[in-house]
């Protein structure tokens, strides 16, 4: 190899080393998970307030969603 090729390979190795060091250092990424917010009585439509089937279904759906999202 000639000097120009040696210099090119040296620069290429250095660039790869710097790139790898830059990507490895990004380990401070934090995952933010919102706390689970369940349904409140205010979330339930008034017209279904006395319907036990609707309320049971709403609670069932809430439980499935909580399983998937927490």
Domain count, the chain: 2
pLDDT at 63: 92
User: What confidence tens digit (pLDDT) does each residue in 12-29 have?
Assistant: 889 888 887 776 555 666
Shared domain check, 70 and 37: yes
User: What confidence tens digit (pLDDT) does each residue in 23-65 have?
Assistant: 655 566 677 777 888 888 888 888 888 888 998 999 899 999 8
Give the range of the structural domain holding residue 25, as residue numbers without chain letter.
1-29
Return the structure tokens found at 58. Answer: 């709403």
Shared domain check, 68 and 42: yes
CA dist 40 → 30, 37, 43 (Å): 30, 9, 5
């Amino acid at each position: 190899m000639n000097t120009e090729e040696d210099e090119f390979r040296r620069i290429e190795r250095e660039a790869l080393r710097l790139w790898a060091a830059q990507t490895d250092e990004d380990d401070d990424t934090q995952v933010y998970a919102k706390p689970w917010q369940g349904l409140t009585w205010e979330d339930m439509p008034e017209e279904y307030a006395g319907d036990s089937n609707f309320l049971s279904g709403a609670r069932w759906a809430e439980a499935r969603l909580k399983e998937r999202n927490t």
